[in-house]
Homo-oligomer: A and B are copies of this chain.
Amino acid sequence: MLTQQRKAHILAVLKDTGQVVAKTLSEQLNLSEDTIRRDLRELAAEGLLQRVHGGALPASPALADFSGRQAIATDGKKAIGRAAAAMIRPGQVVFVDGGTTAVQLVRHLQPGLEATIVTHSPSIAVELVAHPGMTVEMIGGRLFKHSVVAVGASAIESIARFRADIYFMGVTGIHPEIGLTTGDSEEAVIKRALSRHAAETIVLASSEKLGAASPYVILPMNEAQGLVVERSTAEETIAAYRKAGMTVTKA
């Protein structure tokens, strides 16, 4: 059996049943668990599934619902969220994007901290109900269901009323030459507006985003000042971003 076939099979089972177990697969395919584990590791590195002890779970947001996704947020995203949360100083006004990494950010906000969070994500808003120190300002607009964020002209208009100290931006791709990209044009517009109304834009990028590009360009790289990546990211990967003038933080 060819490696590619095997991997395709694993992904098919995963899609079908919502989980795979290393041992079961090895028996089904008549291969050692080592080989399966290697496959799983590689598929995980490609972001096609999420590795867990004993097997793997879907990585694709579509399969697990939003809260499910959050439960299985990778350690990397958690670390990035924590590092970003630590950057917020008391009294600051902060734009927080939608997305799973941003949820991790608000979950790791220091309990005593007092600041203002401005967000166009209802999920983030609901999450912040738990934090007594945070004043929350919601940006309204038409709900873009895929990402669960407000978009549209009225959102842009609302954003223009704020002047934030920091904007924590989520992206689906950050490429040294192409810049910051995302998968929806409306979202790109919103992100651009948020960046324009913040003194500093910090990009939160889990490892699978580095070097990737999506259809819609948000901004060229040099318009973002900071980048937070996982601790395990290779120095040579980071170098290109530093060269573009970004301050790179390893979470």
* A interface residues with partner B (beta carbon < 8 Å): 2-5, 7-8, 11-12, 15, 19, 21, 47-48, 50, 52-55, 57, 59-68, 71-72, 107-108, 120, 122-123, 125-126, 128-132, 135-143, 145, 148, 150, 154-155, 158, 161
Bound: A154/B162 CA distance, A: 12
Is the beta-carbon distance between A2 and B53 smaller than 8 angstroms?
Answer: yes
Bound: A12/B122 CA distance, A: 19
Q: How many chain copies does the complex carry?
A: 2
A interface secondary structure, majority:
mixed
Set B136, B142, B145, B150: member contacting A143, Cβ < 8 A: B136
Bound: A150/B11 CA distance, A: 26
Is the beta-carbon distance between A130 and B62 smaller than 8 angstroms?
Answer: yes
Residues from chain B with Cβ under 8 Å of A72 in the complex: 4, 8
Q: Apart from A125-B148, A129-B145, what 6 extra A-B contacts exist at CB < 8 Å?
A: A11-B67, A15-B67, A59-B130, A63-B126, A138-B142, A154-B161
